[in-house]
Amino acid sequence: MAYQCGLRVSEAVKIKIADIDGELKTITIRNSKGNKDRAIPLPANLYFQLREYWKTHRNIRLLFPKRKSKSKKFDRKNTTEHIPIRTAQQVMNLATKDAGILKKATFHTLRHSYATHLLEAGLNIKTIQQFLGHSNLRSTIIYLHLTNASEKRSVEILNELMEDF
């Protein structure tokens, strides 16, 4: 989810059920950095995965509710607290380890990858800025990394443009 929506870890853990619009396929990120709200696209496949995940706890308020106790039987359905950021980071660490990824990967790494892949796919940098919730375009530019594929494609485009000169 963090990658498919370009979320900060602090944004991901705080998502409320009411922030998800299944019809428009958007998530409203509330009180983000700078106390701003923004609506971001929610890929359809992720929407359906989140619906299935929600069925595991059925909390009416939170997408990622905190356990009330450490016992095997816990009540996430009625809790009003979201999972701690540290818990989400630990889950990320376990997932990368289980996937055999040796290079350190964090929520922020996923956010950078999201921005880079959107640019490579042809999205306008201003749109990417809006999706990331940056007030300053310079912040967005820092997130964009040149990959081998985009460098190769850039050379191909340049060659096509200059072919007739």
111 counts as catalytic: yes
Q: Which of 3, 16, 30, 33 is catalytic?
A: 33
User: Tokens standing for 127?
Assistant: 């749109």
Please answer whether residues 18 and 36 qualify as being in contact, where contact means their C-beta atoms are separated by less than 8 angstroms.
no
Tokens 């990368």: give the residue: 96
**Residue tagged active-site, from 14, 82, 114, 143:** 143
Contacts of residue 88, Cβ cutoff 8 Å, sequence gap at least 6: 9, 12, 13, 64, 107
SS3 38: strand
Catalytic residue selected from 86, 108, 126, 153: 108
Q: Is 33 a catalytic residue?
A: yes
Known catalytic residues?
8, 33, 108, 111, 134, 143
